[in-house]
């Protein structure tokens, strides 16, 4: 890695995962590298492996993360930027507009079912929702789950348009905007995208670890939770029968969400790069 960094000769190093961030920090401490380093956290909790002496700045998703494991004198290195998201999340369409764009009924509620890049468990959730609700439109991102695509293809054909399958999209901001509620694996990006869109996230499974941070964040702020499949149906039914309750949850999510994280992180990276470049030039002239 040291050889690669030296060959590329950057003005700033941005790490979005804690292991490379720690490796770069070690090289900074050993004075093998001099470039400033920024760590960008994409989960809603801080693994203590992120806390490294050679990292100049940590960009975090939420102000609540400015506590342990950081000591008071380390918190000056934190900046609450939000998670970097695709540009479409900065100015998404309204729910009726998004549903029309996707060929959905603009009035009827929508559940967006996600399972990460592997589409974990989306077939089970989608079939449960399809059997439990008659007026709910269900959009499923099957991703690389070929089994789910095969199983759900038959259900989609028989659903009368209530079930829609998609394997991948680079316009996820539209799908989130179309949703009334999101059901998915609580990865950091999924949580950030849901909150930026003002949508609650319900998770039927979690890989623990970093996802455990995300589940606790959702539950503490009342914008989602981890539950079983039966509880999932009960929660969605409660929201659909009480639109005001659903709107209140969506409003809480909207207040928590940050839509300009990518722009904020890029701005800080450019500031550090300019500072390093100016210092290098000054050293050369002296």
Please choose, from the candidates 275, 277, 181, 213, the residue with its C-alpha nearest in 3D space to the C-alpha of residue 44: 213
pLDDT digits (tens, 9 = 90+) for 14-33: 999 999 999 999 999 999 99
The pLDDT value given to residue 157: 95
- For domain 87-256, give its CATH number from 3.30.230.10, 3.40.190.10, 1.10.10.10, 3.40.50.2000: 3.40.50.2000
The pLDDT value given to residue 283: 47
**Beta-carbon neighbour count of residue 17 at 10 Å?**
12
Average pLDDT on 237-259 reads 97
The pLDDT value given to residue 44: 96
pTM exceeds 0.75: yes
Check whether 215 has a pLDDT greater than 60.
yes
Check whether 80 has a pLDDT greater than 50.
yes
CB 142 within 8 A of CB 72: no
For residue 161, what are the CA distances in angstroms to 35, 155, 268?
Answer: 54, 10, 46
For residue 49, what are the CA distances in angstroms to 20, 59, 78, 284?
Answer: 11, 15, 15, 35
Task: Output Rg (C-alpha) for the chain, integer angstroms.
Answer: 21
- pLDDT band with cut points at 50, 70 and 90 for residue 205: confident
Q: Cα separation of 58 and 34, whole Å?
A: 17
**Domain residue ranges in the chain:** 2-85+261-277, 87-256
Q: Cα separation of 210 and 188, whole Å?
A: 8
Average pLDDT on 158-184 reads 96
Place of tokens 């890049």: 117
- pLDDT band with cut points at 50, 70 and 90 for residue 273: very high
Strands, E assignment, the chain: 13-15, 37-40, 57-60, 78-80, 110-113, 137-141, 163-166, 181-183, 201-203, 224-226
The pLDDT value given to residue 280: 55
Check whether 256 has a pLDDT greater than 90.
yes
- pLDDT band with cut points at 50, 70 and 90 for residue 279: low
Q: Cα separation of 78 and 74, whole Å?
A: 8
**Beta-carbon neighbour count of residue 38 at 10 Å?**
25
Check whether 2 has a pLDDT greater than 80.
yes
The pLDDT value given to residue 53: 93
Percent of residues, the chain, with pLDDT higher than 70:
97
Strands, E assignment, 135-235: 137-141, 163-166, 181-183, 201-203, 224-226
């Amino acid at each position: 890695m040291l050889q690669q960094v030296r060959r590329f000769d950057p003005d700033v190093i941005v790490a979005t995962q804690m292991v490379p961030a720690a490796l770069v920090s070690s090289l900074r401490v050993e004075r093998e590298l001099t470039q400033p380093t920024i760590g960008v956290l994409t989960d809603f909790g801080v693994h203590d492996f992120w806390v490294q002496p050679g990292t100049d700045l940590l960009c975090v998703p939420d102000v609540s993360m400015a506590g342990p494991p950081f000591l008071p004198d380390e918190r000056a290195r934190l900046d609450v930027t939000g998670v970097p998201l695709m540009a479409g999340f900065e100015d998404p369409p309204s729910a009726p507009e998004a549903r029309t764009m996707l060929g959905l009924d603009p009035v009827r509620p929508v559940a967006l079912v996600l399972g990460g890049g592997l589409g974990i468990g989306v077939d089970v959730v989608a079939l449960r929702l399809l059997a439990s609700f008659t007026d709910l439109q269900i959009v499923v991102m099957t991703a690389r789950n070929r089994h789910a695509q095969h199983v759900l293809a038959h259900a989609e054909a028989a659903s009368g348009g209530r079930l829609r399958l998609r394997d991948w999209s680079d316009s996820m901001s539209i799908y989130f905007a179309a949703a009334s509620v999101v059901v998915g694996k609580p990865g950091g990006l999924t949580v950030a995208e849901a909150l930026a869109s003002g949508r609650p996230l319900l998770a039927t499974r979690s890989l623990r670890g970093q996802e455990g941070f995300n589940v606790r964040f959702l539950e503490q702020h009342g914008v989602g939770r981890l539950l079983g499949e039966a509880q999932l149906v009960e929660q969605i039914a409660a929201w659909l029968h009480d639109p005001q309750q659903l709107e209140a949850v969506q409003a809480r999510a909207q207040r928590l969400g940050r839509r300009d994280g990518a722009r904020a992180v890029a701005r800080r990276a450019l500031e550090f790069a300019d500072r390093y470049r100016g210092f290098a030039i000054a050293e050369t002239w002296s």
